[in-house]
Structure 1
């Protein structure tokens, strides 16, 4: 067996030498290895060694000629059907995988992969293709022999069944022991059933004939594609529907083989092949038969088939124990069976156990060359030490990784989900003086001492949405990395997947970039852009934007917009100068800020105009009390200068829900308060509706102030 394996040759095609070296490590003990660093070199080797190469392990993305180009050329050279190609690639999109299969790939392995699984898949595919090359010729020869020797085959029917059953064995290497075991279990079941059901006429010779015919139950699997029949995982709904057709395809094959139709028990073969997946309650396939519509021999084979499938190891599952398998059958997990047949099954269990222990029941394992060893023996797998070439290449990669990490300002880390351990690069210890290894990191994160709790929850939600098709995760977190306080970091996370069956994330590779200075600089610039340079309050644009945003918050139920104007400011500013005027405006800003809560907004929106948004106003009396207090403070502070304040108020949502509407009504109320004599406030009502409204937030003196100014100018001109 080992000599046969050593004669076989594998062609590894990958432009990365390390990848080729790692694959060589996996296969070099059993196979001769050819290597090619691009598609063109691969084709040269194929032209020279096509008769000797058992399989091609092909990378997708390569210089000169990529993997698809190699497949295309192999098709032109008529090699695709003869030499299996297994594509090994990090690209896992449906389009790429579909194109690969359409162009003739026997299998596609996505990186990262489980080496043991890939080794077994390669071994299986090599054996399947080896047998597949002879399958058509073998079937044709056997069919011809059947026609020519019909009489001989009738006399030696068991041999005929074994020959046809071998077709299944060629197709599915797991079927070898399964066919034998189904025969044994069927014989035991029917023998027990015959004891209490003489009406079926189940003689010993008939039971023997039926048990031999049971070998034909899965003959239709020769029509099922290899990638579905031998898939090492759960079938999709579409694949399962294809798998189900093996019952009808098998009966069609039997109908086409005239030599088989001459056999005395052809009807049993046909019935078992077509109906061994029917169920007592009508829930089976392909014909949906129920109850006694299903022949007793098809029922017996069905139960035998299920029991052996449960207790046997498959590429997609481990074997269940005898007790578990029986309980699953009784619980109806595999469909509903004839209650009388179930009773016979339970009665026959002791005999079934004796058959298993005595070696009559077989367990099988497929060796590296596809040979079946019976009974199963566990062999210790020895891969030997890594070659010096592989160790050298791995050391080079490690040094490259370390150098890149040191050259960068970034902190590289790896998180292993299985061990819950976080490991930083050496730079972490240089920057913080701490151990770069964090065992049980989840426990550390739970107390929010390392990562801000709110940010950690946000990151966790983002990671839940990560898939092989959407693998990248980027976030900004506040992290207390050195124990001196939280700082802002950009975090990039890249998942590592275990693709053995269903994709499972096993670890993350990531990096941290300190963006605290950038964050603070941006916050400062943002504050400068939003602030009034004189008073430090929100400027006109920022006040508008933040007020609109606040009003959209569903938590805000009642609010008030207050438009404030400093009375007589222009006159005082002209008389005392701009420095005095600036001092007044700054003190007004301080009074307004000290009179509101931290949840309220205050902004300077014009020369001597201010805007206040009061959150969570209880009622109209509440807002009137607040604004009256501000009026009183302004009057007290600036009374000697003749400076007071006038205020117009609109209420949310009573007076409107839109900012511009509330602003218009607050402005109209402000005009009304000016007309009433200044130094007071006015809450918008119908009396304000006809007041003028300024379309922009700019300082415009009211009508009375303009009249006074014009009178002074006229007086000055007259006196001069």
Structure 2
């Protein structure tokens, strides 16, 4: 059964809480908080599970505006829409409330219809807004990936002319990002958010684009450059700026502006001794200052045609001692940070491993007959050491920087090893013996999920495929979705005997919720909130396929009598209101397990499972729906019914007979019910 959307009522008045609960509890799950502090505690426990907050303004300890301030500070206001409850009608108060980020108002004393409509409209509007944001973000991300790819291709072309692998571009980009992140910690006044940092790092890829104008024989000269050749090299900074500045249509784009700054000024120095313009101090954009250090550090630590590589610590010492020019003291402070030095060292180690990207090349070289046995042993030892270091660096990097939970299961004995960063995050040991009986793991994953994992492992014996399935754990009383992937590891002596599994546990909750939201959006009739025609058919057919042979099922088709008059006399907007009103009556007349959908203009379908007398049940439903009026327009329906007592369990047959009975009801003067009884 579908769970009701959750509404949090934050109000110190028990009377108001009870009034709102009575109005809304049929369609929503109600959570109550007596003041702002309690309300914030509820939100903190489950910020993604609350669909709407109804917030009173006048409360002790914390008023409504103070509550909104904290919601905004913690980033919850964009996730949860808020309707303010008040008796205030002052324009200044209303403007201030909207300024704090509320979605709408409900004024006391409560009007039942207004409360229900505003709550429903707010939840629907917010869901559509979030869906639109998701689609826009997805499009922007895709465009960003394409821009990233094109810039990397161009920068690699430049490096190719320079007889380098292109690794320099990647290194400078990563180093730039590391330095900028630390710089923002040391000097928050710079106000560099993640988007700006990513933009500067991406723009750094084009720092040497001007080298495309420098002759290859100078770029790749293995010996010291003479003064004339050095002057040629120095021109690449201004030439790079000119190349980028002539790109049509994009001159004023933020990424292009930063790229031009970096290309022109990444050889400037803080004391004015650099080139091409002799800028000094704050005249040099911070983007160019950071890329300058990144460029120098990578040049020192990587082997070039004219020099051997310096060790990472030696390179840092050379920069700090002023051997590579004068840099911003703030950036030198960043470079002294042990964490930054560790990250830069890892970048260098990873880059050096890219020289030989396939491990088989190591093995081929280690067994090359040209090498002497002694050289082969030395090379093999060095190769294995590099492989081990690369594995360790890669494993640490990916484990710490992603939200994947990486683990390994040994089968004999049963032993679980989890990446240390994830073990710390989820407060579980990194090594667990006999995991199927570990109390903490049972609490986190649940016995059913652990039993299923072990069952899947048992069933996969003798198969080479990965184990891959989704499961849910309980989080705040709600299901939280995960995907688990297990890859078998085999004994060296017996390639068919599985000794364990490498595993990934992926948090797929947001993707699943987004998928379900989009699926619901695609299945709902926007006007009435019932299922649309296509999804109604899908659900009815599915129900019939899965039907209990001991139960009977019925399909009813109904339409609104004289609906054309509503449109002709009052207009189509009023006609839409009538249809929405009728839909609510239909929903109120059936159970949650029954199916209701709009299948045409004013035509609706109901499918129900019934245990007893169908005529009595349908008569109750008919008279619940077909009575009274809406704003003076009489609500009268005609209904035709077909059941599996007389028709085989097939959607088309049941639908056609119910449709025929509807026609019979209309021929009999409308406003009546006709049930097929096998005549």
* TM above 0.5: no
> Normalised by the size of structure 2, how large is the TM-score?
0.42
Instruction: Report the structure number with the largest CA radius of gyration.
Output: 1
> Normalised by the size of structure 1, how large is the TM-score?
0.40
